[in-house]
């Protein structure tokens, strides 16, 4: 899969490793896109993988003295959803992060990674471009700042050079007079790439639109502005009629692409629909209602873990799995899923789609539920891992396991370990979840036998064993 795997601890070490980088060097943080590409053979000559997921002081969200918001390179989508600062000051981004994939993927996938991947369907590009965000790139040659509008050169092409690290995203927070709506059209609610998405950001004086920005994703090779629509909206009164006319103009304002997820005509029609919907949301001030107050993240109890002391030797892994300290030698050019199954001998996590969609391989990595098929095996070094084999305590099944048995929430059984792991982490986070929260918690898990009703019932019953009587 790769020749060399590096796990630096500091930004300085990353820059040093990148100083001689080529097209055969890849930076990995979450790896939710990159690992699929590697599996599909898109990087056959991959020399160096530089894992920045444990670099200290690279995972912060903060407001600086100049009033600018900073989102650093290791901030995940779930980190955004746990941030009151971003919910208040960057609502469109907050909305977008909630629509990205599933809780397990959001625990690994980073916002910076989503931008750097440079797919026009990536959900966070649209709101951040609407907010005129910039990226800070650093290398041994120094530092530069690039506006997101100028970062993309084409489909999956950017101005980033091989020796550069995107350290952070920087942007002005929304003013009190500004509000924005992000809407995504996809084939299903979760675990789906956008057929198209849109961010509408307006600045209001009473009910008059002082300024407007409309960005559209997955309609062209890069995320684009609907400039004619923006111009039309400026100085108009926000109303249902304005929303209708603006949506018609937005549909005509771009040459839409056709691909496997939708034709140009369909995209043009749906763009009209979602632009109108977004403006109506803003008119009725209900844009933030699409995201729960405390979204499910499946990351309760997660925290910073021990990191390797110095450069990893690439030949030995020391790890803790199900409470047992273990050491392994040899090559580790595989996924965490394969490592756990083949080297450690735990068969609970199951290989399914092997691209993060089915959730059958769910386990806990440093306290977070993740899909292990998209995690490189070296990430197990100095990590704390729990598989379903470690969920029972002192020979007693976890309440979720007990209720799955009682309710017959098992059909073929292949997907069951992943569901149980997601559900157990959900109840750790929310001892008495609502039905909607349960559905969110297991949204990253697929059952081909369609046994969801009994699964939900089992999780509801397990609440009593975890959190006691309400």
- What whole-number distance in Å separates Cα of residue 183 and Cα of residue 33? 22
Tell me which H or E stretch contains 359. Answer: none
Question: Does residue 113 lie within any of the structural domains?
Answer: yes
- What whole-number distance in Å separates Cα of residue 41 and Cα of residue 242? 49
Count of CA atoms in the C-beta half-sphere (13 A) of 170: 16
- Asked if pLDDT for residue 470 goes beyond 50, the answer is no
- Higher pLDDT: 340 or 395? It is 340
pLDDT, tens digit (0-9, with 9 covering 90-100), for 104-131: 999 999 999 999 999 999 999 999 999 9
Question: Does residue 8 lie within any of the structural domains?
Answer: no
Q: For the chain, give percent helix, strand, coil, nearest 5.
A: 35, 20, 45
Overall average pLDDT of the 139-152 stretch: 98
Overall average pLDDT of the 80-108 stretch: 97
Which residues lie closer than 8 Å to 405 by C-beta, 6 or more apart?
397
Q: Give the distance from CA 455 to its chain's centroid.
A: 25
pTM for the whole structure = 0.96
Question: What angle, rounded to 10 degrees, do the helices at 416-429 and 452-467 form?
Answer: 40
Q: Apex CA 183: angle with CA 181 and CA 184, to 5°?
A: 160
User: Which ranges constitute the DSSP H helices of 144-239?
Assistant: 148-151, 227-233
Same domain, 281 and 421: no
Sign for the pseudo-dihedral over CA of 351, 353, 354, 355? negative
Question: Does residue 185 lie within any of the structural domains?
Answer: yes
Q: Judging by DSSP bridges, how do beta strands 316-321 and 384-386 pair with one another?
A: parallel
CATH number of the domain that 68 lies in?
3.30.390.50
Nearest to 347 by CA among 402, 406, 401, 416: 416
pLDDT, tens digit (0-9, with 9 covering 90-100), for 321-351: 999 999 999 999 999 999 999 999 999 999 9
- What whole-number distance in Å separates Cα of residue 196 and Cα of residue 423? 31
Question: Does residue 303 lie within any of the structural domains?
Answer: no
Same domain, 283 and 401: no
State residue 316's pLDDT score. Answer: 94
Question: Which residues face 208 on adjacent strands?
Answer: 205, 237
Label residue 450 by pLDDT band (50, 70, 90). Answer: confident
State residue 253's pLDDT score. Answer: 80
Question: Does residue 91 lie within any of the structural domains?
Answer: yes
Same domain, 281 and 426: no
Sign for the pseudo-dihedral over CA of 91, 96, 101, 107? negative
Question: Does residue 41 lie within any of the structural domains?
Answer: no
Question: Does residue 140 lie within any of the structural domains?
Answer: yes
Beta carbons of 93 and 176 less than 8 angstroms apart: no
- What whole-number distance in Å separates Cα of residue 26 and Cα of residue 43? 10
Q: Which of 272, 290, 308 is the last residue of a domain?
A: 290
Same domain, 284 and 419: no
**Domain range enclosing 434:** 397-470
Instruction: Give 30-33's long-range contacts (Cβ < 8 A, gap of 24+).
Output: 30/76, 30/105, 30/108, 30/109, 30/110, 30/113, 30/374, 31/108, 31/113, 31/374, 31/375, 31/376, 32/101, 32/105, 32/108, 32/109, 32/113, 32/356, 32/374, 33/109, 33/113, 33/117, 33/119
Share of the chain above pLDDT 70, in %: 97
State residue 308's pLDDT score. Answer: 66
Question: Does residue 228 lie within any of the structural domains?
Answer: yes
Neighbours of 259 (CB within 10 A): 11
Helix (H, G, I), strand (E, B) or coil at 336: helix
In whole angstroms, how far apart are CA 206 and each of 177, 189, 203, 277, 280? 9, 34, 10, 20, 16
Same domain, 278 and 425: no
Domain count for the chain, please give it: 2
- Asked if pLDDT for residue 398 goes beyond 90, the answer is yes
Overall average pLDDT of the 199-213 stretch: 97
- What whole-number distance in Å separates Cα of residue 179 and Cα of residue 167? 27
Q: Which of 275, 290, 305 is the last residue of a domain?
A: 290
Share of the chain above pLDDT 90, in %: 89
Q: Would you list the DSSP string of 13-25?
A: HHHHHHTT--TTE
Q: What is the dihedral of CA 209, 213, 219, 224, to 10 degrees?
A: 150
- Asked if pLDDT for residue 305 goes beyond 80, the answer is no
State residue 309's pLDDT score. Answer: 67
pLDDT, tens digit (0-9, with 9 covering 90-100), for 277-299: 999 999 999 999 999 999 999 99
What ranges make up the beta strands (E) of 159-195? 165-171, 178-185
Same domain, 151 and 286: yes
- Residues present in the chain in total: 470
Beta carbons of 362 and 370 less than 8 angstroms apart: yes
Q: Which two structure tokens, joined as six digits, stand for 31?
A: 């790896």
- What whole-number distance in Å separates Cα of residue 115 and Cα of residue 58? 16
Q: Which of 256, 290, 324 is the last residue of a domain?
A: 290
């Amino acid at each position: 899969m790769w020749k060399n795997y590096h796990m630096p601890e500091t930004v300085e070490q990353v820059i040093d490793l990148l100083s001689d980088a080529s097209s055969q060097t890849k930076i990995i943080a979450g790896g939710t896109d990159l690992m699929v590409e590697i599996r599909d053979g898109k990087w056959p000559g991959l020399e160096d993988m530089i894992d920045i997921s444990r670099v200290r002081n690279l995972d912060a969200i903060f407001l600086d003295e100049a009033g600018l918001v900073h989102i650093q390179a290791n901030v995940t989508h779930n980190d955004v959803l746990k941030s009151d600062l971003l919910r208040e000051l960057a609502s469109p981004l907050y909305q977008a992060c909630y629509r990205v994939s599933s809780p397990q993927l959001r625990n690994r996938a980073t916002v910076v990674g989503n931008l750097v991947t440079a797919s026009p369907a990536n959900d966070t590009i649209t709101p951040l471009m609407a907010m005129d965000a910039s990226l800070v790139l650093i290398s041994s040659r120094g530092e530069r700042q690039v506006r997101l509008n100028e970062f993309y050169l084409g489909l999956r092409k950017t101005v980033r050079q091989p020796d550069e690290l995107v350290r952070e995203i920087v942007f002005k927070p929304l003013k009190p007079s500004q509000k924005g709506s992000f809407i995504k059209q996809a084939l299903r609610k979760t675990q789906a790439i956008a057929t198209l998405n849109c961010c509408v950001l307006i600045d209001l004086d009473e009910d008059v639109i002082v300024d407007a920005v409309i960005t559209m994703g997955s309609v062209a090779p890069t995320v684009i502005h609907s400039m004619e629509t923006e111009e039309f909206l400026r100085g108009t009164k926000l109303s249902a009629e304005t929303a209708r006319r603006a949506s018609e103009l937005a549909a005509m304002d771009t040459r839409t692409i056709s691909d496997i997820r939708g034709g140009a005509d369909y995209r043009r029609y749906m763009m009209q629909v979602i632009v109108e919907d977004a403006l109506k949301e803003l008119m009725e001030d209900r844009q933030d209602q699409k995201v729960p107050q405390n979204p499910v993240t499946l990351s309760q109890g997660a925290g910073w873990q021990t990191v390797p002391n110095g450069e990893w030797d690439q030949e030995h892994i020391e790890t803790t799995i199900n409470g047992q300290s273990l050491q392994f030698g040899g090559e580790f050019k595989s996924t965490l899923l394969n490592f756990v199954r083949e080297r450690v001998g735990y068969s609970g996590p199951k290989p399914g789609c092997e691209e993060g969609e089915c959730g059958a391989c769910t386990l806990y990595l440093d306290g977070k539920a993740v899909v292990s098929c998209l995690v490189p095996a070296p990430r197990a070094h100095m990590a704390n891992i729990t598989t379903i084999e470690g969920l029972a305590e002192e020979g007693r099944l976890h309440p979720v396991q007990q209720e799955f048995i009682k309710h017959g929430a098992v059909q073929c059984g292949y997907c069951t370990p992943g569901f149980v792991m997601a559900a157990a982490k959900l109840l750790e986070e929310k001892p008495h979840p609502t039905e909607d929260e349960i559905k969110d918690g297991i949204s990253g898990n697929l059952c081909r036998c369609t046994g969801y009703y009994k699964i939900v019932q089992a999780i509801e019953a397990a609440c009593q064993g975890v959190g006691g009587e309400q």
